[in-house]
């Protein structure tokens, strides 16, 4: 505690140009990410299928995948430029103090006196800012779904569903944001210099709460979940879970096809009560054995304790963030640099602290990518050890084709942006070789075995 207090005192000096530093950090990060994006765009301009995929991916599919990648890259470049301009204007022209003053005047004019404290003011400020961000992002989101994704055959949304989703998201933000935001601020107000410890414990409880309610309450608001019908696929998955002693409580199918043609599956729930959710698009486009192989990979994450390890790392990182926040929460020079004189609102302090901390986020992201890539290789190896090398490989190739995912990547871009190894790296790791395209009656070998996966719709 004494160390944090001394550090806070040493950083509270008007000689530190906080606003200039934050703008410089933001511009520097944008420059680095733009350079990485440029490198990746050069890869997306290639016309030759990667050697390892030449027997699986035809030229037409590869060209379409490359075109999709370039379209997403261009969209990302425009979005990033807009985000950079918006961030610069917000910081340079003191949008935060202006919005704080405006929301404060609204409370004085329209709210009873008992609702005019810092907590109510902070919640109104946060919701107003979030609402404005949502409105500003609608044109970009609309273009992404109804132009870019539509062009390549992925969008299944209607404009009505698009707007309904926005409304539901705002409603959930209010329903959960108000009580959680109020609790966050109250903890900081009431627990003194040790607030970061209580805040950390509170956040751990909140995370456990959301892990519990997300599949039960939140997912059904946006998608329809139905039990996987009885049949050979259900029997296969139940047998696999029993073999691995997974506490599987539910097997469900999600109607992902109502929004997108992309495929996926995920494993969720508490350690003692797990649920597997499979996208209907995955079941439609893969054989039962391939779906089983994908789920064996997901169960590999559970068997290897990857989720628990990531939760532990996330918790440690949160503790570090909150402890460091205690250094900045009363930093008068930081508040004044951004236009706050005579008051130090907690929510503003947290926002400004995150602006200062943003350069370290990139480092954390890079390190986490290294770790999660390792976990992906381990989960693939786990599926391989259960005898699914061929099916896992063919399913990965099919997902790559169906989703038009990039077949190759620049190594620097991949290291910074990708939490998963690229397809060729994963195929090499499981020893995949092929004599014919996976989409047909492929005769392929993986890890030394030879099988013919059967496509079942």
* C-alpha distances out from residue 17 to 7, 14, 88, 90, 354, Å: 17, 7, 15, 17, 16
Is-contact 335 352, C-beta < 8 A? yes
Q: 292, 380, 391, 408: which one is catalytic?
A: 380
- R_g of the chain computed on alpha carbons: 25
User: Residue 331, by phi and psi: left (phi above 0), alpha (psi -120 to 50) or beta?
Assistant: beta
Round to whole Å and give the CA distance between 124 and 117. Answer: 11
Is-contact 394 453, C-beta < 8 A? yes
| Collapsed DSSP state (helix, strand, coil) of residue 287 | coil
Cβ burial, residue 333 (10 Å; 0-12/13-18/19+): middle
Asked about 2 being catalytic, the answer comes back as no
Short-list 365, 349, 423, CA closest to 51: 423
- Sheet containing strand 432-434, edge to edge, reads 432-434, 444-446, 449-451
Q: 288, 298, 355, 391: which one is catalytic?
A: 298
Question: What tokens appear for 216 in the block?
Answer: 């039960």
> What are the residue ranges of helices labelled H in 404-451?
411-417, 423-429
Q: How many CB atoms lie within 10 A of CB 66?
A: 20
Round to whole Å and give the CA distance between 361 and 409. Answer: 22
Q: What is the largest CA-CA distance in the chain?
A: 76
**Pairing mode, strands 265-270 and 248-254:** unpaired
Instruction: Please provide the DSSP assignment of 141-184 as one string.
Output: HHHIIIIIIHHTT-B---HHHHHHHHHHHHHHHHHHHHHHHHHH
Question: What tokens appear for 113 in the block?
Answer: 């006196």
Question: What tokens appear for 326 in the block?
Answer: 């205690």
Helix (H) or strand (E) holding 256: none
Round to whole Å and give the CA distance between 344 and 158. Answer: 45
Asked about 380 being catalytic, the answer comes back as yes
Q: Show which residues are catalytic.
A: 298, 380
């Amino acid at each position: 505690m004494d160390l944090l207090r001394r550090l806070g005192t040493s950083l509270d000096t008007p000689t530190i140009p906080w606003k200039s530093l934050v703008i410089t950090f933001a511009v520097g990060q944008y420059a680095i990410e733009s350079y990485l994006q440029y490198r990746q765009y050069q890869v997306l301009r290639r016309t030759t299928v990667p050697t390892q995929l030449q027997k699986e991916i035809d030229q037409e599919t590869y060209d379409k995948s490359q075109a999709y990648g370039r379209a997403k890259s261009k969209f990302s470049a425009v979005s990033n430029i807009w985000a950079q301009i918006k961030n610069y204007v917000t910081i340079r022209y003191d949008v935060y103090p202006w919005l704080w003053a405006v929301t404060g005047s609204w409370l004085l004019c329209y709210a009873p006196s008992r609702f005019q404290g810092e907590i109510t003011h902070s919640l109104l400020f946060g919701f107003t800012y979030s609402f404005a961000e949502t409105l500003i992002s609608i044109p970009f989101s609309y273009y992404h779904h109804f132009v870019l994704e539509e062009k390549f055959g992925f969008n299944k949304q209607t404009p009505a569903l698009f707007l309904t989703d926005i409304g539901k998201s705002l409603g959930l933000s209010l329903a959960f944001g108000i009580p959680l935001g109020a609790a966050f601020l109250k903890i900081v107000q009431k627990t003194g210099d040790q607030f970061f410890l209580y805040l950390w414990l509170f956040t751990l409880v909140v995370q456990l709460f959301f892990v519990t309610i997300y599949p039960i309450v939140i997912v059904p608001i946006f998608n329809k979940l139905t039990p996987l019908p009885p049949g050979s696929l259900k029997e296969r998955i139940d047998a696999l879970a029993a073999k691995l002693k997974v506490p599987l409580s539910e097997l469900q199918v999600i109607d992902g096809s109502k929004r997108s043609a992309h495929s996926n599956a995920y494993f969720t729930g508490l350690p003692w009560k797990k649920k597997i959710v499979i996208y209907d698009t995955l079941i439609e486009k893969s054989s039962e054995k391939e779906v089983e192989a994908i789920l064996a990979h997901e169960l590999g994450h559970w068997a290897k304790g990857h989720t628990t390890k990531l939760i532990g790392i996330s918790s440690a990182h949160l503790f570090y963030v909150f402890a460091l926040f205690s250094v900045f929460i009363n930093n008068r020079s930081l508040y004044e640099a951004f236009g706050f004189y005579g008051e130090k609102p907690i929510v503003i302090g947290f926002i400004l602290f995150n602006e200062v901390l943003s350069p370290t986020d990139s480092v954390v992201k890079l390190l986490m990518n290294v770790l999660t890539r390792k976990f992906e290789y381990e989960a693939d190896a786990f599926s391989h050890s259960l005898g699914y090398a061929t099916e896992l490989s063919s399913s990965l190739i099919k997902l790559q084709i169906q989703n038009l995912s990039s077949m190759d990547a620049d190594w620097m871009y991949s290291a910074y942006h990708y939490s998963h190894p690229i397809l060729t790296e994963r195929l090499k790791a499981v020893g995949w070789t092929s004599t014919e395209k996976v989409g047909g009656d492929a005769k392929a070998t993986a890890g030394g075995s030879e099988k013919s996966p059967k496509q079942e719709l």
